[in-house]
Structure 1
Amino acid sequence: MAVFTPLDEAEVDAWLSRFDLGTRTDLQGIASGIENTNYFLTTTRGQFVLTLFERLQPEQLPFYLGLMHHLAAHGVPVPDPMPDRARQTLHTLKGKPAALVTRLKGRSQLQPQAVHCAQVGHWLARMHLAARDYGGTLPNLRGLAWQRRIIPEILPYLTGDQRALISAELAHQTAVAESATYASLPRSAVHADLFRDNVLFEGETLSGIFDFYFAGVDTWLFDLAVALNDWCIHLETGAFDAPRRDALLQAYQAVRPLTEVEHSLLPDALRAAALRFWTSRLADYHLPRDAHLLTPHDPAHFERVLRQRLMPD
C-alpha cells in the first residue's frame, strides 16, 4: 500500500464492536492512494472502506465527512460515513483519525469515452446543486493562497522557461481572482479532485464518486475545469479531445446551465486548474513532505496541460 499503517484482525474487531454493523468477515488492504491508509472491510451486514488518515488534521475531517453524508442524503452516489453507537462518524484507530464509509460498486474507467464523460458531467452538476445548502466552510487548501506560498519555494528547482511560465500564470490567476466577475461566480463545497481514478462505473453508468479529502469551498467553475482537464484530454499531449469535452459540458449544462460569466471565465478556470495540479505535483516532487508519499506524480503532465490551455483555439 502506498501509505501503510498495518492493522491486525483482532484490533479491527475490537474497534468494530462499537458499531452496529455486524462482525468482520474479511479485511484487505487497498494498494492505491498516496495520502491515507485504506482497507476493504466486509462484515455480516455490508461492505465498507476503513480509512486511517495519515496527514489530514482532525479538525479538517468533519468537513469532508459531513459533505459526503450530505451528498449521499441527496442521492449522489458517494461513500456515506458510518456512525458508531455514539452517532460519531470521526473515530480513532491505532492512534490515528479514522472513518468507516460504505463501499461503492464498480471500477475506475481510465480510458474514458464520450459516454463516460457525459455521466461525469451529469453527476458533477447534480453534486454542485446538492452542495448548495451544505454548511461546511473549509477553504480549498490547495487553492490560490497555498499556491502563492509554495511557488516561491519551487522556483529554484525549475528551468528559466518554467519559472517564467509559472510566475506569469500565478500573476494572471491572482488578477482574475481579484476581479468583480470572479466574485460573482457560484460556489459551494466542491470535490476539487475529480480525476478518472476517483470515479467508478458499472458498464457505462457512473456508480460512485469518492476521495473527497481535497474538497473545499471553491467555485463550481473551477471544479468543472478540474474534471475537463483530466477526463477530456489526450494524456500524451494535454490537448482536449473535442467529443469528450463536448459530452461532459453538454451533460453538465443539461442539469445546470453555466451563467454568462462562467462561460466567459471558463478558459481562465481551465488554466487555474492546470496551475493548481502542476504546482501540487512540483511540490510533491521537489519538496516531499515525508515518507508517506511513495511515488509522486509526474509534474510534466500538468505543465503540458497548462501550455495547451494557453494556446489559442
Structure 2
Amino acid sequence: MSVYTHITLADVQPFVAGHGLPPAITLVPIKGGIENSNFFLTLTDGRELVLTIFEELGRDEAGFLGPLLAHLTAQGLPVAGPLADRDGLRLGTLADKPAQLAPRLAGQHPDQPDIAQCAAMGRTLADLHLALLDYPLARKNTHGATWWEAVAARRRSQMSAADQSLLDRTLAALADITQRYPSLPAGLIHGDLFRDNTLFTGSNVSALLDFSECSHDCWLLDIAITANDFCRQWPTDAPDTVRLAAFMSGYSDVRNLGTDEQAALPVFLAVAALRFWLSRLDIGQRNAEEGRDGEHVTQKNPDEMKHLLTALLARI
C-alpha cells in the first residue's frame, strides 16, 4: 500500500460523515504495496478504519469488491468488507477517485513467516479458492500472460543481455508447460497475496487484504505468487524448500493438487517471480515518468524478484 493521492484530515470528514460515522481524529498514510492510496483512520469513538483510494481502477471496475467481500465474509473467510454509506453504497468518491472505508482488522504482517504460518497460509489460500469456485465474477487477469508479455517487449531494450536471457528462458519454460498441460485447474484468484496483504495473530491468518487484483486465472499462479513471498530463506531472497513443503501441505489439506499441477508447479513458481520482476520494473519506470516519489510511495526492488527467479529457474 502506498499514497499517491495526498489528502488532509479535513478532506476526509465529509466522506466519513456520509457513512453515518463520527468524525475522524487521526489520518495516517500506510506505506507498502504499489497501486492504491491507503490510510488508517481513527474515529472519535475509538474505532479504526482503513480508507482506500483506488488509483488504477475506475468506479465500475472497483465496484465488484463490495459484493465479493460480502460473499467471502459469508463463507467464513477473514476479510473486511467495505462499509455502506447513508445511501447503502459501499463505494464512494474522494478526491475525484473511487474510495471506500473498511474496518481495520487485528493482526500483524508476517515479517519472516515460520513453518506454522506458511502451512496456515496454504490452507487459507485453498479455502479462498474453494469459496470463490461458484462466485459469478467474469473478470480477466489484467496482469496475466498477455500483460507480462507486453511489458517484457516494452522493457526488453532496457535489459542487459543476461536479463534478456533470463526472461526468454522463463517464457520458454512457460510455453512448454502450458503446451504439455493446457487445462490446468482455474478459477478466481487473489492475484497479489503477499505478506503485506495478510495479517496474522500468532500462527493464524486473521485477515486477507486488497482484492483489487481478483480475477480468473490458473489457481497454480495464485499458489506460486503467495508461496514465493512466504517461503524464503530469510533474510535472503532464496526460496526455502522446507517452508514451501509446509505451505503446499497446508493447501493440500483443503484441496489436493492434481498430478498436472504438481508437475507444473516449479515452472509457475518461476513465472510468478517473473510477473513481479516485470511489474516492479514497469511501475518504477512509470513512477519516474509521472514524478511519483516521496516517503509515502513504495517502490519495491525489482532485483529481489530477479534473484528469486534466477534461483527458481535453476531448479526446473
Fold match (TM-score > 0.5): yes
* Structure 2 CA distance for partners of 1:182 and 1:233, relative to 1, 3 Å: farther
On the 8 A contact 1:80/1:101 being kept in 2, the answer is: yes
Q: What corresponds to 2:309 in structure 1?
A: 306
Deviations 1:3-37 (A, max 9, x none): 243434444232223324x3124332223133222
| d(CA) in 2 for partners of 1:8, 1:30 | 10
* Structure 2 CA distance for partners of 1:287 and 1:166, relative to 1, 3 Å: farther
3-state SS, counterpart of residue 133 of structure 1: coil
Task: Map residues 1-313 of structure 1 onto 2, 5 A cutoff.
Answer: 2-20=2-20, 22-33=21-32, 34-43=34-43, 44=45, 46-177=47-178, 179=179, 181-183=181-183, 185-234=184-233, 238-288=237-287, 290-292=290-292, 294-312=297-315
* Structure 2 CA distance for partners of 1:220 and 1:156, relative to 1, 3 Å: same
Structure 1 unaligned blocks of 5 or more = none
| d(CA) in 2 for partners of 1:35, 1:307 | 26
3-state SS, counterpart of residue 60 of structure 1: helix
Deviations 1:133-166 (A, max 9, x none): 2211221211110012111111111111211221
* Structure 2 CA distance for partners of 1:242 and 1:75, relative to 1, 3 Å: same
**Alignment-mate amino acid for residue 238 of structure 2:** A
Deviations 1:284-312 (A, max 9, x none): 23454623463422211111111211223
On the 8 A contact 1:27/1:39 being kept in 2, the answer is: no
Higher alpha-carbon deviation: 124-133 or 199-208: 199-208
| d(CA) in 1 for partners of 2:39, 2:298 | 20
Identity across the alignment (%): 35
On the 8 A contact 1:3/1:292 being kept in 2, the answer is: no
Provide TM-score, normalisation by structure 2. Answer: 0.90
On the 8 A contact 1:237/1:305 being kept in 2, the answer is: no
* Structure 2 CA distance for partners of 1:30 and 1:182, relative to 1, 3 Å: farther
| d(CA) in 2 for partners of 1:174, 1:87 | 47
* Structure 2 CA distance for partners of 1:191 and 1:94, relative to 1, 3 Å: same
On the 8 A contact 1:35/1:292 being kept in 2, the answer is: no
Deviations 1:88-147 (A, max 9, x none): 211101211101112111111111110111111111111111011221122121111001
Higher alpha-carbon deviation: 272-281 or 54-63: 54-63
3-state SS, counterpart of residue 127 of structure 2: helix
Higher alpha-carbon deviation: 206-215 or 38-47: 38-47
On the 8 A contact 2:13/2:24 being kept in 1, the answer is: no
| d(CA) in 1 for partners of 2:8, 2:315 | 55
3-state SS, counterpart of residue 76 of structure 2: coil
**Alignment-mate amino acid for residue 38 of structure 1:** N
* Structure 2 CA distance for partners of 1:64 and 1:189, relative to 1, 3 Å: farther
* Structure 2 CA distance for partners of 1:272 and 1:47, relative to 1, 3 Å: same
**Alignment-mate amino acid for residue 189 of structure 2:** V
**Alignment-mate amino acid for residue 102 of structure 2:** V
Shift of 1:65: 3.6
Shift of 1:51: 0.9
* Structure 2 CA distance for partners of 1:310 and 1:94, relative to 1, 3 Å: closer
**Alignment-mate amino acid for residue 299 of structure 2:** P
3-state SS, counterpart of residue 243 of structure 1: helix
Provide TM-score, normalisation by structure 1. Answer: 0.90
On the 8 A contact 1:154/1:286 being kept in 2, the answer is: no
RMSD over equivalenced CA pairs, Å: 2.2
> How many residues align structurally?
310
* Structure 2 CA distance for partners of 1:176 and 1:64, relative to 1, 3 Å: farther
On the 8 A contact 1:83/1:89 being kept in 2, the answer is: yes
| d(CA) in 1 for partners of 2:60, 2:196 | 26
Deviations 1:25-84 (A, max 9, x none): 433222313322222223448432111112322222123343323212211111211122
* Structure 2 CA distance for partners of 1:35 and 1:312, relative to 1, 3 Å: closer
